[in-house]
Structure 1
Amino acid sequence: MRSGQLADAAGVNQQTLRYYERRGLLDPPQRSPGGHRLYPTEAVTLLRVIKTAQRLGFTLNEVADLLDAFRRRRSGAGLQARASDKLTEVEQKLADLTVIRDTLRAAISAGCDDLIACAGTSCCPLPFAE
Structure 2
Amino acid sequence: MEGLTISQVAKGANVNIETIRYYERRELISDPPRTESGYRKFPQEVVEDIKFIKRTQELGFTLEEIKNLLAASNHKNFRSVEMHDFVTSKIKEIETKIHDLHQMKTLLEDLAEKCPGSGVSKEECPIIKNFKGVN
**TM-score range with shorter-chain normalisation?**
0.7 to 0.9
Secondary structure at the aligned position of 1:39 is classed as: coil
Cα separation, 1, equivalents of 2:53 and 2:19 = 11
Partners of 1:16 and 1:35 lie apart in 2 by 20
Of 50-59 and 64-73, more deviation after overlay is shown by 64-73
**Structure possessing the higher relative contact order (Cα contacts under 8 Å, 6 or more residues apart):** 2
1:42-99 Cα offsets, whole Å, 9 max, x none, are: 1111111111222222211122223334445531262222122122111211111111
Q: In the alignment, what sits opposite 2:12?
A: 9
Q: Report % sequence identity.
A: 32
Equivalent residue for 1:30, pick from 29, 33, 37: 33
Aligned: 1:93 with 2:97: yes
Structure 2: gaps spanning 5 or more residues: none
Asked if 1:46 corresponds to 2:49, the answer is: yes
User: In the alignment, is the contact (CA less than 8 A) between 1:57 and 1:86 conserved in 2?
Assistant: no
State whether structure 2 residue 80 is matched by structure 1 residue 68.
no
Root mean square deviation of aligned Cα: 2.6
For 2:78, give the aligned amino acid.
S
> Could you tell me the TM-score, scaled by structure 1's length?
0.78
8 Å contact 1:7–1:17 — kept in the other structure? Answer: yes
Q: List, as ranges, runs of 4+ consecutive aligned residues in structure 1 with deviation greater than 6 Å.
A: none
> What TM-score results when the alignment is normalised by the length of structure 2?
0.75
